[in-house]
Amino acid sequence: MIAKSANFLVALSLAGGLVACSNMSEISATDAGGAPAVPTKSGPFESQPLRLLINGMTADQALGSETAMVTTLEAYGVPRPSGATLGEWIKAIQDDRSGHGPLINGGPGGVSPRSLLDAAQEALEGGRLAAPPVVDVRGQIEKECVLPDGTVYSGYHFDGISPHGSGHLCVTVFTTTQRGNSGRTKTIAERFLVIVEPHKNRTGGFMVEQKIDSQDPNYNPGNVFPAFASASGMAISESVAGGRGYKLWASGTSIRVAGIWVDKNYNASSPDFKWVFQKKAYLSLRIANPDSCIDMLFMASPPSPDLPPGMSPPQYCLGRCANPPIVNTK
């Protein structure tokens, strides 16, 4: 999620011990005038606050001091060049693997680590930490995505075929960073079209799982969707599931990114998204990754083929399954 998926999950995620999807408290993104940097929308396409976590810390904590930022950047697995400033190190991370970025930035789960690097850059002045940043991340399922050739994809589609269905999601992640109490903010918006298709042998793809009943002899409150846990290595507890009884999920290489748009200086009144799918810097996102995840929780059986117009956003994650060091989740 663009890290796992939520009330919007793009959990687009990532090397050490990271957290999986969970319910988080809301964090308000405001611009210098005190208005929301990213406006909310109604129905299933409402903008939702997400929580960017790095080894269990919030982005503010993970980037809040030079020592913390060094520890965070080390998670990307790209050694700091001798004598490099933090800014030069971030550039080295982005340029790793001949410009593709480190493996942690690959596949749908690479969205969150990229967002974190963007936030880190905004906190620097002359390559050094200017002031601890205040980072806000919001995400939403879009009503539709339109490819450059005019092909239109709805924001959510699930064909309902059991046990291995196909579908897609069009999601946008907004990362707003403010330097301390400066009032200076910048929002970077990234939109992704994510396709889910079963493999030719009809494995993978979208699957639906009903939460195991508490009366079942195999019931475990720490793992109420055992099939998903077995496939992804990520157990969902009863407390995380809440009252949601169904999971729509997919994992592995049957998930791929098929469209990428970016607005590097997002303004809600005049968005200016650019198609960047073919750009070298985004190549790693386009490569199918065995650790990719989509994880959506619904009260009832997942709607098919589209989200009803009056429905509240589902709880979702979209990102990386296994041990992500960086995760973006609701």
Condensed to tens digits (0 to 9), the pLDDT of residues 136-168 reads 888 888 999 999 999 999 999 999 877 789 999
DSSP for 20-86, please give it: ----------B-TTSSBSS---SGGG--EEEEEEETTEEHHHHTSSHHHHHHHHHTTT-PPPTT--H
The pLDDT-based confidence of 285 (bands split at 50, 70, 90) is confident
Q: Note the pLDDT of residue 13.
A: 31
Q: Note the pLDDT of residue 322.
A: 61
Q: Note the pLDDT of residue 325.
A: 55
Q: Is the pLDDT of residue 25 over 50?
A: no
Q: Note the pLDDT of residue 38.
A: 57
Q: Note the pLDDT of residue 300.
A: 87
The DSSP H or E segment spanning 302 is none
The residue ranking higher by pLDDT, 318 or 119, is 119
Domain ranges in the chain are 43-329
The model carries a pTM of: 0.83
Q: Note the pLDDT of residue 314.
A: 67
DSSP category for residue 109: G
